[in-house]
Amino acid sequence: MEENNHVIIEVEAWMTKEIEKLGVLSSSCCIYRVPDRLRSAKETAYTPKIVSIGPLHHGKEGLKPMEEHKKRYLQDFLRRTNVSLKDCVKIVKEREERLRGCYEQTIELSSKEFVQIIVLDTIFIIEVLVRFHFPQFLHESDRLFNRPWMLWDIVPDLLLLENQLPLFIIEELFDPHKTSVTSGYGERLSIVNIFYRLVNKSLVNLDVTADKLEKISCLNVEHFVHLLLYLYIPLDARPGGKFKTVNTPSMTQLYRAGVRFKFELSGNLFDIHFTNGVLKIPKLTIDAMTDTLIRNIVAFEQCHFMHGCLSDYVVFMVRLVNTPNDVDLLVANGIVETTLSDSSELSCMISKLAAGVFVRSDGFYFASICEDLNVYCTTSWHKWKANLKQNYFNTPWTIISVVAAVFLILLTIIQAVCSIISVIN
């Protein structure tokens, strides 16, 4: 009995100590570890290859060479600006609790280590954006911008969910007046505007109006992946609908039912319409970077929101594409452009985009379009008409053959009728 009491007291003391060590959970959490259900489909799409940003991947062996570049960028930043290193450290230190609260998991780093990482990585991002936007600040010895394509090797790492810094700390350390940068054209210079120009240089799917960019600048943007989400999705998105069926016809099935395809001249990927047997889809350019980008935005949606428009878009597109033949139809109709080698590779890439993605059955963005496509494809007349057109009236020669065959049949019938009439008479 005495031994039991001793165990009870020890366990209680240990658990009390562990509970007291727990910090208060912050409602500002916005940077997450990618869930295994998404990561297992393509691990490399969520893992930085060249540079770590923030604490989650800091210190990994393959990313250490970039640490020297970060220090040199910090040195250049301090030389060019009216900002002291002490000021930078003070700003970050005073916001340490808020910064830690932005990460989903507890950051097991000392205050000193954490502040050092945030200061160094924040200034690195600011310098990358400033040097991209203002080439006059580039040096001949800059190893990142003066090496062909090196910048575009770094940019994908800046767009990974696990490689983010809260946007508020970047904006607080970026002061156009103190950092000696002005637009020169009277425009409002901001991190949002410069970042958009950087990604728009490498992401051809983005076509954002000045009005939309201004609206985004006024929104509560958590970090760069969140900003990309706003750049892609419509800010005035229509309400979704309820699934009536989880099945949606593929491109090949739609084609066999007589559906025609056209690419929509729109910078809005969600501007998809199905009217009078014509499915209009905005052009989508797909390469390795597009794949990584979409996966990370979807991962953020899946972690941060109960419903996500881009998740719905990915699921819709995956349902359209099941085979290389489906890809061929997208490419042939100008809907998809790709740098990938063949249809099989692209089909495989698209089909895996939605692996592990959850969508709401009662608020799916493309529910009405899916329903209309299903109804159209189950109408027998559409299939018969498409079969005639695709198999018997698809070339001038087949048309001539069908007409000749019909003419011969008519002649045969006429001859038979005439023979019967002559016998009767």
Pairing of strands 260-264, 278-282: parallel
DSSP letter at 381? H
- Among 366, 359, 371, 362, which Cα is nearest to 238's? 366
Q: How far apart are CA 354 and CA 44, in angstroms?
A: 16
- Strands (E) located in 228-335: 260-264, 273-275, 278-282, 284-286
- Count CA atoms within 13 Å of residue 328 on its CB side: 7
**pLDDT, position 182:** 61
Strands of the 273-275 sheet, one edge to the other: 260-264, 278-282, 273-275
Distance CA 424, CA 329 (A): 58
Residues 6+ apart with CB under 8 A from 116: none
Where does residue 325 fall: left (phi above 0), alpha (psi -120 to 50 degrees), or beta otherwise?
alpha
Name the 3-class secondary structure at 338: strand
Angle formed by the axes of helices 309-320 and 343-353, to 10°?
Answer: 140
Query: Which residues make beta-bridge pairs with 285?
Result: 337
Beta bridge partners of 274: 279
Task: Give the C-alpha separation, 171 to 375, whole Å.
Answer: 50
Q: Which of 273, 248, 261, 254 is nearest to 335 (CA)?
A: 261
Place of tokens 């099935």: 253
Q: What amino acid is encoded at 343 in this protein?
A: S
Residue-level pLDDT at 386: 47
Asked if residue 327 lies in contact with residue 321, where contact means CB atoms within 8 angstroms, the answer is: yes
DSSP-derived 3-state class of residue 47: coil
279 close to 271: Cβ distance less than 8 angstroms: no
> For residue range 241-298, what is the model confidence (pLDDT) as tens digits?
887 776 789 999 999 888 999 988 777 888 899 998 999 999 888 877 888 999 999 9
Query: How far is the CA of 369 from the CAs of 153, 281, 322, 332, 378, in angstroms?
Result: 38, 12, 18, 22, 14
* In contact, 330 and 347? CB cutoff 8 Å: no
Condensed to tens digits (0 to 9), the pLDDT of residues 39-77 reads: 999 999 999 999 999 999 999 999 999 999 999 999 999
pLDDT at 241: 84
pTM: 0.85
Task: Quote the CA–CA distance of 158 and 51 in Å, as a whole number.
Answer: 8
pLDDT, residue 242, reads 83
Count of Cβ atoms closer than 10 Å to residue 174 Cβ: 22
Q: Rounded CA gap, 185 and 87, in Å?
A: 29
What is the secondary structure of 243-257 as a DSSP string? Answer: -S-S----HHHHHHT
Tell me the three state secondary structure of residue 187. Answer: coil
**Cβ(53)–Cβ(67) below 8 Å:** no
Residue 112 has a pLDDT of: 97
Q: Where are the domains of the chain?
A: 27-232, 251-378, 382-420
Q: Cα–Cα distance between 31 and 102 in angstroms, integer?
A: 6
Q: What pLDDT does residue 389 have?
A: 54
Q: How far apart are the first and last CA of the chain?
A: 123
pLDDT at 394: 52
**Residue pointed to by tokens 């019909």:** 406
List of the chain residues with pLDDT < 50: 185-186, 381, 384, 386, 388, 392-393, 397
- Give the whole-angstrom CA distance, residue 332 versus residue 334: 6
